[in-house]
Every structure is written in C-alpha cells, then in structure tokens.
RNA sequence: GGGGCGGUAGCUCAGCCGGUCAGAGCAUCGGACUCAUAAUCCGUGGGUCGUGGGUUCAAGUCCCACCCGCCCUACCA
C-alpha cells in the first residue's frame, strides 16, 4: 500500500488537525506492515506557497529561512507523534520534485493553453473567487489580478472523472464525500488556471517549462508530489504496480485531489490513485483551529503535557468517521484516564501482579483465546474509532475474565489456566495495539514478555486535570 | 440559489438493505469483589429516535415538506 498525507503549508507550525491526518495515515501504514504487506508511507511539506512568502515578509526573515524552520517542525512530528513515514517530501528542496513537475507539465502539454484571466485572488486560500470577500474570512483583502496564465482543459475530463468515481475505480470515502465530488463534477467542469505570473509570486515556485514569466500553480506543484517523490527507482513499484494507492486528506482539499489531480494524471497518461480518504476537522473548545493560535491545539505541547499515547489515543478513539469533532484537554484526559490508566494499564498490572504472587512470576502456557478482534474491516472502511474499539474489546474481555475466574480463589492448576489465558490475551493485545499506540504497545509487550515476568509497575498514571499542570 | 451531511438517553455517539433498533460508553444511583493504578465486575434509572405529514401489516430505518447546525458549490440584480 502506498499511503500519503497531504503535504502541509509551512507558513505556520503544525496544529492538531494535521496531527490527526498524520496519525490516521500512520495507523494504516503500521497495520498493513504488521500484516506483512509492503508499505510506503509518505508525507512532507508544501514549500512553494505564496503564503510562505508573505509569512516570511511579515516576519522579516528570508523565505528560505522561514520555510526551512517550519518544515523542520513538521518533520519533527515523526518523533513527537511516533510516526513511521518512510519518506518526507520537501517540494522546494528536492531536485527530483522540480524535475517531476516539469515532466508532468510537458506530458499534459496537449491540454494546456494561454488565456487572459482576471479575478479576485485570495492568498489565504490560494484560489480565485468571482467576488469577495473570501468565504473563509482570511484577513488579507482579495487581490485584483489581471494577467495571462496557462489553462488546463479540465472540461474535457468531466465524463471520464464521473465514470471513474461511479465505477469505483477511484474510491472516495466516506460516501458523503464521494457524492459531493460527483455533484461537483456532474454540474459541469470549467478549465482551470494552472500558472501564476512569476512577478506576483515573487519568483518563488517552479518556473513553467519554456515560459519563465510564469510559475506553476502551487496546487499543481503540490499534487505532483505524490509521484515526483517516486521519481527514479520507486516509481514503477509504487505508482504503476502497486494495487492500492491511498491519499489521506482533510475535507477542504477534496476537489484538488478527487478532480484536478486525477484529471492531470489522465491527461498525462499516468496511472491513478485508487482511494481517497477524507477526514473532517478538529475544532478546539468549539472554535475552528487557526494556524497562528497555538492554544490547546498544538500537538507538540499536548504531547509534552500528556504523552504521545494519550494524544494518539484521543485522535483515534474519539474522532468520528464523519463530522467535525471538538477537542478539549478535559476530554483527552478523561479518555486517557478511563482507557489507558484504568483499562489497559490496570489490566496489565493486575495480571502481572497475580502471576508474581501466585506463580512466582513464571508464565504458564497459553490457554484459550478470549476474543477475536476484527480491526481489518474497520480500517478498510477508514473507521479508526471502530477499529480502536475492536482492539479495546480485548481489554474489556480480559477484565471480565478476571472477575469471572477469580484467580485468587483458584487452585494452583486453576491459576495456571486462567493466568495463562490472561497473559496470552495481554500479549495479543500488545500486537493489535501497535498500529494505534506503538509506544504503549511496546510497554505492554515488555510487561508481559518472557518466561518470567518482570516486576510489575504501573504503565499509565492518571493525568493531571487540564490546566493543573505546570 | 443548488447539492450534501448531521439533529437518537445529562454528555459523546452506534444503529447497513424497514420488522428484539430503542442501544453502547461516560456521568448518576445500588450491589459484588479485593489480584490491581480509590482500579475492576454486575445491575438500576433515564429518550414521543428535530417537527408535521405520507407509504406499509410494520419506520430513527423509505418518501415529501419544514425547523436547526455544519460542509461543498454557485451567485439570479
């Protein structure tokens, strides 16, 4: 499986919504790796945005400096969030990206033409609008732009795109998003502008091949990353031969991924992605997360305060498949205490303690399996919350099993049987948990690993109430 | 304006093709237990399933209209 996240703009530091996307993709990547499937998990940053230019100007630092600094913050999420991506794209820094963008541009040449364009451009959205103000409420006023640009014959691909989506060759999940895209496509597509004047872009970006007065539209540039990062030996393996190519993204950029991008690929004669998964947004305390406001929505600060397991767990266990979700530190803490401390941590601790107390730490042979869990189908439906719930059934069943068998009242033989079952359940739990909480899974595995268990220690303490920490 | 998605117990939400679908978790209350991180397990209470119609032997579950929230898209002067 080739799995990608969107590449983030680097005009600001990463926020919790982007962490959601990364963690979801990470779960898919780890899950499929665990099943022995080849996986390439790729993320990165979109450096070539005019936003970055403006953010740098506002700060009074060179663009390159701001972009490099913020890109490093995004790449640093690998450690912060326990991510397992194999590849990190930097669209401004990698020659292969630029070469790839140029190659695709030329391959699409038969669908490109020059046209005069006039419109109101919102730098915040990197989009044109027929009239103001910008619907997202970006502060910067719309710029009246009048220039000649390169246009792409998107209108030619309306039927092909419709067919692609209806036939399921391009699967869009959840279905609501699929319907949305179909409605957009079948309402009629117009050609789109795919370049900007180099002057207006302050020279930042990738020049249009053969036309130095223009730079490639940032979205074209950005979308291309999914294959330019493969230029060289990886391309055939991951874009031509790989049966599953999954793009993960937020709902705000579906059109680019489900319409423009496939159309570009069709025009260029390239293979297409197979799946598009769209997540909704995280709000913080009932408000939309703004990139500038860190507040309670800074994933790095949250991990510092509560630990990576608590943050990942909240993102996976609490975020519904459809619909925005509101984040508060109270909810994160409540979920972590209930599930990680009281549920998982306490289970492992009580099991290990009993093994020590009744069996001198020696692990008896595994007995019956307590419960079958089905994370596969939940993850195939990109339902992370349900998948996490499936894993958790082991915790619930194991706790019930303890109450049912009461090892402290059993004979030696009974204790060996019940604790053998329980240790085996905890070990299986660690395996299933790995894609979701790699750190926690390793600790569980260590606590119930070996012929003789280590001295038990609490795995997860209770978290301080929100706001009470220093 | 067009399209889409939500509106189900105090809170967060499951409920696919109509007939144990009126549920889960948390919170509340009661009980059990003592291996464990004042953890765990069992049970109780609580909802006219947004509103009004319709189809059907039977509708949160299908159809229509409307109200509320959100998203996408487009703007008729």
Answer for the pair A91, A43: CB distance below 8 angstroms, yes or no: no
CATH T-level assignment (fold) for domain A328-447:
Isoleucyl-tRNA Synthetase; Domain 1 (1.10.730)
End-to-end CA distance of chain A: 42
Question: What pTM, to 2 d.p., does this model score?
Answer: 0.91
User: Is-same-fold flag (A2-297; A328-447)?
Assistant: no
A173: left (phi over 0), alpha (psi -120 to 50) or beta: beta
Q: What are phi and psi of A460, to 5 degrees?
A: -130, 120
Q: Which nucleotide is nearest to A347 (CA to C1')?
A: B36
Which CATH number is associated with domain A2-297? 3.40.50.620
**Beta carbons of A293 and A275 less than 8 angstroms apart:** no
Protein-to-nucleotide distance from the CA of A182 to the C1' of B66, whole angstroms: 27
Q: Which of A299 and A283 is assigned the larger pLDDT?
A: A299
What pLDDT digit, counting tens, does each position of A16-38 carry?
888 999 999 999 999 999 999 99
| Residue A132 CB in 7 A reach of strand B | no
Has residue A165 got a pLDDT over 60?
yes
pLDDT at A247 over 70: yes
Q: Determine the Cα–Cα distance for residues A101 and A227; give it in Å rounded to an integer.
A: 9
Lowest mean pLDDT among A44-48, A148-152, A235-239, A355-359: A44-48
Percent of chain A surpassing pLDDT 70: 89
Contacts for A233-236 with beta carbons within 8 Å, 24 or more apart? A234/A40
Q: What is the mean pLDDT of residues A47-56?
A: 76
Instruction: Name the CA dihedral angle for A373, A374, A379, A383, rounded to a multiple of 10 degrees.
Output: -80
A341: Cβ under 7 Å from strand B? yes
Tell me what pLDDT residue A307 has. 93
Which nucleotides of chain B have an atom under 7 angstroms from any protein CB?
2-6, 12-14, 25-27, 33-37, 39-42, 70-75
Tell me the C-alpha to C-alpha distance, in Å, between residue A187 and each of A182, A190, A276, A326: 8, 10, 21, 33
**Residue A15 C-beta-side C-alpha neighbours within 13 Å:** 20
* A51 against A24, higher pLDDT: A24
Show the tokens assigned to A213: 């007065």
- HEC sequence for chain A: CEEEECCEECCCCCCHHHHHHHHHHHHHHHHHHHCCCCCEEEEEEECCCHHHHHHHHHHCCCHHHHHHHHHHHHHCHHHHCCCCCCEEEECCCCHHHHHHHHHHHHHCHHHEEEEEEEEEEECCCCEEECCCCCCCCCCCCCEEEEEEEEEECHHHHHHHHHHHHHHCCCEEECHHHHHHHHHHHHCCCCCEECEEECCCCCCCCCEECCEEEEEECHHHHHHCHHHHCCCCCHHHHHHHCCCCEEEEEEHHHHHHHHHHHHHHHHHHCCCCCCEEEEECCEEECCEECCCCCCHHHCHHHHHHHHCHHHHHHHHHHCCCCCCCEEECHHHHHHHHHHHHHHHHHHHHHHHHHHHHHHHCCECCCCCCCCCCCCHHHHHHCCCHHHHHHHHHHHHHHHHHHHHHHCHHHCCHHHHHHHHHHHHHHHHHHHHHHCCCCHHHHHHHHHHCCCCECCCCCCCCCCCCCCCCCC
- pLDDT-derived band at A254 (thresholds 50, 70, 90) equals confident
Q: What is the mean pLDDT of residues A210-239?
A: 87
Confidence of residue A63 (pLDDT cuts 50, 70, 90): confident
CA atoms within 13 A on the CB side of A378: 19
Q: What is the per-residue pLDDT across A328-351, written as a single tens digit (0 to 9) for each? A: 888 888 889 989 999 999 999 999
Task: Check whether A293 has a pLDDT greater than 70.
Answer: no
**Strand B closer than 7 A to residue A179 Cβ:** yes
Query: Above 60 in pLDDT, residue A115?
Result: yes
Which A residues between 290 and 319 have a beta carbon under 7 A from any strand B atom? 318
pLDDT for position A138: 55
* A467 pLDDT above the threshold of 70: no
Q: How far is the CA of A92 from the C1' of B76 (A)?
A: 44
Q: Is the CB of A408 under 7 A from strand B?
A: yes
Q: Where are the domains of chain A?
A: 2-297, 328-447
pLDDT of residue A248: 92
Average pLDDT, chain A: 86
Mean pLDDT confidence for A294-321: 86
Q: Does ipTM come in above 0.85? A: yes
- Are the beta carbons of A151 and A193 closer than 8 angstroms? yes
Per the model's pLDDT, the better-predicted residue between A8 and A410 turns out to be A410
How far, in Å, CA of A206 to CA of A216, rounded?
Answer: 6
**Residue A17 beta carbon within 7 A of nucleic strand B:** no
The string over A348-378, giving b where at least 16 C-beta atoms fall within 10 Å of a residue's C-beta and e elsewhere, is: bbbbbebbbebbebebbeebeebbebebeeb
């Amino acid at each position: 499986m080739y799995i990608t996240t969107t590449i983030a703009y680097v005009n600001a530091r990463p926020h919790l919504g982007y962490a959601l996307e990364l963690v979801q993709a990470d779960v898919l990547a780890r899950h499929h790796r665990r099943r022995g499937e080849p996986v390439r998990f790729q993320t990165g940053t979109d450096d070539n945005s005019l936003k970055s230019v403006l953010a740098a100007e506002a700060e009074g630092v060179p663009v390159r400096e701001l972009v490099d600094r913020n890109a490093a913050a995004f790449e640093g999420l690998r450690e912060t969030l326990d991510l397992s991506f194999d590849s990190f794209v930097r669209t401004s820094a990698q020659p292969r990206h630029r070469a790839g963008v140029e190659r695709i541009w030329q391959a699409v040449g038969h669908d490109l033409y020059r046209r005069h364009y006039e419109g109101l451009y919102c730098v915040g959205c990197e989009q044109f609008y027929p009239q103001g103000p910008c619907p997202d409420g970006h502060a910067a006023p719309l710029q009246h732009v009048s220039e000649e640009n390169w246009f792409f014959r998107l209108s030619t691909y309306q039927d092909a795109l419709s067919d692609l989506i209806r036939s399921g060759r391009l699967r869009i999940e959840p279905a609501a998003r699929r319907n949305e895209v179909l409605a957009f496509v079948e309402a009629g597509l117009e050609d789109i502008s795919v370049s900007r004047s180099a002057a207006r872009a302050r020279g930042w970006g990738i020049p249009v091949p053969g036309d130095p007065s223009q730079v490639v539209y940032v979205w074209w540039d950005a979308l291309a990353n999914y294959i330019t990062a493969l230029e060289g030996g990886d391309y055939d393996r991951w874009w031509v031969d790989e049966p599953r190519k999954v793009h993960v993204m937020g709902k705000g950029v579906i059109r680019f991924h489900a319409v423009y991008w496939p159309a570009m690929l069709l025009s260029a004669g390239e293979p297409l992605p197979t799946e598009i998964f769209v997540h909704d947004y995280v709000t913080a305390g009932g408000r939309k997360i703004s990139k500038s406001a860190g507040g309670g929505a800074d994933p790095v600060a949250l991990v510092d305060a509560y630990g990576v397991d608590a943050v990942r767990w909240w993102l996976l266990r609490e975020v519904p498949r459809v619909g925005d979700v509101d984040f508060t530190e109270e909810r994160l803490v409540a979920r972590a205490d209930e599930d990680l401390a009281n549920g998982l941590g306490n289970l492992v601790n009580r099991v290990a303690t009993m093994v020590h107390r009744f069996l001198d730490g020696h692990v008896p042979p595994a007995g019956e399996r307590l419960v079958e869990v089905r994370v596969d189908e939940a993850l195939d439906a990109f339902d992370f919350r349900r998948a996490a719930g499936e894993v958790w059934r082991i915790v619930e069943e194991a706790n019930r099993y303890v109450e049912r068998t009461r090892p402290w009242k059993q004979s030696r033989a009974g204790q060996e049987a019940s604790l053998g079952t329980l240790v085996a359940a905890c070990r299986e739990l660690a395996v299933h948990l790995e894609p979701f909480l790699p750190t926690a899974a390793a600790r569980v595995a260590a606590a119930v690993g070996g012929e003789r268990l280590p001295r038990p220690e609490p795995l997860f303490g209770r978290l301080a109430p929100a706001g009470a920490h220093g």
